[in-house]
Structure 1
């Protein structure tokens, strides 16, 4: 095999620095050893997504390898194959000429083969007196020999990623099923807790599932769904504690019924308009309905810094949360108009959550008002959702990671 000489493509095909580097790297990496050409082909097929190759390009590579007579690629042998386009097309299941040229270009670009063009661009070989090939023009298979270990490593990495993908997908399916059924239990049994908010949060997370998710997408969705699972479990555990407490009170004759619908025994009061009830005076006309609702306890665990700004230094209801947000809004220098616009687009509860999240990251935000206006503009265009922001704050608050590969 010839080494130490850089070849350039025939005709109008350009020569690039990347092609030069690949040729030099290939020549330096080739050693006197041999590899099974079909094993390398399988590795390239497994790693095709990393190499940017499509199935048709693999079919063309398969055809090229079929023109190399030996089963193994050896550094001491001529590694150039020189079939015509017609021969390649016949062995590549009749692929069209235009597609064939694109596939050959993709293989060259991926560094799988190297062109060695003749003076007139034709592919042929010259043989010596003893019938051995002295010079050949076509496609060099030397990169397959030089990068065999690299292709094998890529294939193993892709296989490991696919295994992680399947594991993450299975975990997400199980957690999603568990959350769905636990919320259903809470709603059907009319248990204390903001189950409507948990339902809305569940729908929000599921609604952002990608049709063709990547491993990162699955890990993010699993993390968020796991956090919601923990919140739902907390609500059920609270109900269990209330039940035990009520049982003890009955046993000792100390059980007291409370007909106050706003009792703090309710896990999280909800703002639902009852029949015949007048609208609350602090809700402005024309405000957008709350598009995203999350359990208040989840919001407070994600954004604990806002708690001291509630009435009496605590937050026990969404009314307290919105009151605290107004106080924090003024403290952060967010103008009333910016907050008013946010309420119109994201709703009062959504705006309160946004303010709480901004407060958590106040050291990293130069202008809280400008940041809120930017979020509002994105929300108006449908490009922003509170859920990722809230879950990011929840993770940053010190919650342990639930995703492991």
Structure 2
């Protein structure tokens, strides 16, 4: 039925895709195609279409995006099956070492529940089409109830107790596993169930900013067009002293009719209708971020805040800005020339889970980059060579490299015997030439 989109791409319109999605027969997530991309919809356990998305990334297929991402991905990002059914006995707090064992059992239950009772629909499209742009147009046309999950528009469901009981029986969970699930349900009903990020949707006021204390924050913005003052979404990831992250997100009405980047982030004029202006959002940000170090991933976000402030004749907030790109460069120099230190590259290298070009998701990712970089400073251990030297040597256990014939001809290295040399370590060598010395080209990059 969908082959027409492959053979006649000129006939593809947002309306035709929407009609296909609304009229398609929902199927289990495991049946999603492994060899095609396009626009898809997620159907809840009650049979209602609730989310429309796309495999805009060339690296993803329907199967990977729906069955592996939305079903089994992180609950706190844009993996919407995981997010909407992170409830009751299926609930877990991401990255919480104290409850990890119980949380893993709860996630296993949730994955099985979604595979059993949730469904999806999909419309394959040719790879040469602007899939992201078509997705954004389809979302704008869709009935509100069909995109109720989009941009975190709904809270997680209450636990479907009877259906969950059936899944537990099918999985043959032991008494201890059932006890773990009961503990998770109790935690969900307690103060720990505060992971959901507030979002200002059209027609709503600015969401309440989380209360600290925080160690630092990361901020990201999306803009409507090349004018950096045209901010249409702001996300802030607040990192607490225990390194847990609480994310605050709001749409912003940039009050412009020129939308250039909708195909990139999915936000359009219809999305921000009724959302607060930047002038309304700024006081909330100023209060919430006062005295904090604020990370941005590159210099774009600060320049956008500065431009938006200038547009309303306000001075830029006096935040302690830092760049998480610079942090990543110091922590993982091996990525230079090998993918780089942008969020897309770090996502795969560090195993981050987020939806790029969503302000809340990108802010959280930048915060996680900083947290992982902090860990990289202590693992593996650092040894100071001498009291006088101003750099650390990071020891990485490696298999000794076989010397080249040229290197084998060098004089053998001897073990230091002088008292002043005891405790020092050979960390490597570099072949110097006249050009190295005469032109100041001798660096400690290998170190």
State TM-score, norm by structure 2: 0.23
State TM-score, norm by structure 1: 0.25
Which structure has the highest strand share of the two?
A: 2
Which structure has the highest helix share of the two?
A: 1
State which structure, 1 or 2, has the greater radius of gyration over its C-alpha atoms. 1
